[in-house]
Structure 1
């Protein structure tokens, strides 16, 4: 059985340059889980573990039906419910939605069935599995850039992206999006690779 590799099928989605660039993306399905708190905290780590468990549950069900795929990279949407800049808001108040992209043939019904089976198999996660949702998202036009290094230095990359947007009359019209290309447990911070992506639109000059 051939195994579908989403990172190879959607190369432009999982690849970015070390300079800001303008890209576009259509609708795609995801498994998601939302929460609030410090990304270095237990709540975030538990949410990621639950999301991966659900994703591998979907993979197992797909494989049983003859459509196997490799679970792709973890992603995150980030925001704060405050008028203050995000970095001035306590990390405990940061809000996030973790995502794992699914193949187009994965339906909401199949995802729901996989969640049920995962809850039965991994009873320690059963309470949290209900928080996992199946959603579709279409970000459209985006500015993105590859950030290399620790997460704490991402503001430097974001500043370059904002300068690129300003020069082209673009404004952000969606959530701060990150795709984590490296496993921080296996790679030193200097080698971490993260795609930063901002949905954008043309500035209204009227």
Structure 2
């Protein structure tokens, strides 16, 4: 069985500075993603979205590890895209109007076929994810492009200085 350490291989993307924002070019990766809105510190929808993402990610990890591929890998960290229709909600700290896409990167060796098999297996083990997963195929979505990164080390209110910097 081979072991893959994607966080080490992609250190420039997954261990950015916590002190400054850096701009990077992100190659094409596939992500499990869920969109939502509301305060990430208090929203039940946010908590359920994160639970669903990790449930699918860990189910996939063990399918790959026990399957013909026999590859062991660590589930990648939770990532988020944050925005609002009115960007002033970030400076006024109105988190109830934040929009977000939470996501977990999937290794290149995780196939779409495997992704389409996951929902039933996850729902059998984690019934609370049914509302998130039942809506359709929960497939990895490819993303790539330029991004600004900063390591997030606390609650969502700590994002405000970073987001204010990005607007300038």
Bin the TM-score by the shorter chain.
0.7 to 0.9
Point out the structure with max Rg over C-alpha.
1
Q: Give how far 1:161 is off.
A: 5.0
Where 2:107 maps in the other structure, the secondary structure is: coil
Match of 2:142 in 1: 136
Q: Counterpart of 2:6? A: 6
Task: Name the counterpart of 1:110.
Answer: 114
Q: What residue number does 1:153 align with? A: 158
SS in 1 for 2:104: strand
Task: Give the superposition deviation at 1:133.
Answer: 4.1
| TM-score (normalised: structure 2) | 0.82
**Unaligned 5+ residue runs, structure 1?**
164-206
- Alignment RMSD: 2.3
Q: Which has the higher contact order (CA 8 A, sep 6+)?
A: 2
**Alpha-carbon offset, residue 10 of structure 1:** 0.9
- Give the deviation of 1:33 after TM superposition: 1.2
SS at match of 1:27: strand
In structure 2, stretches of 5+ residues that fail to align are: none
- The number of residues matched between the two structures is 161
CA contact (8 A) 1:77 1:96 kept: yes
Runs of 4 or more consecutive aligned structure 1 residues displaced over 6 Å after TM superposition: none
Query: Among 53, 58, 61, which residue is 1:59 paired with?
Result: 61
Say which SS state the counterpart of residue 26 (structure 1) adopts: strand
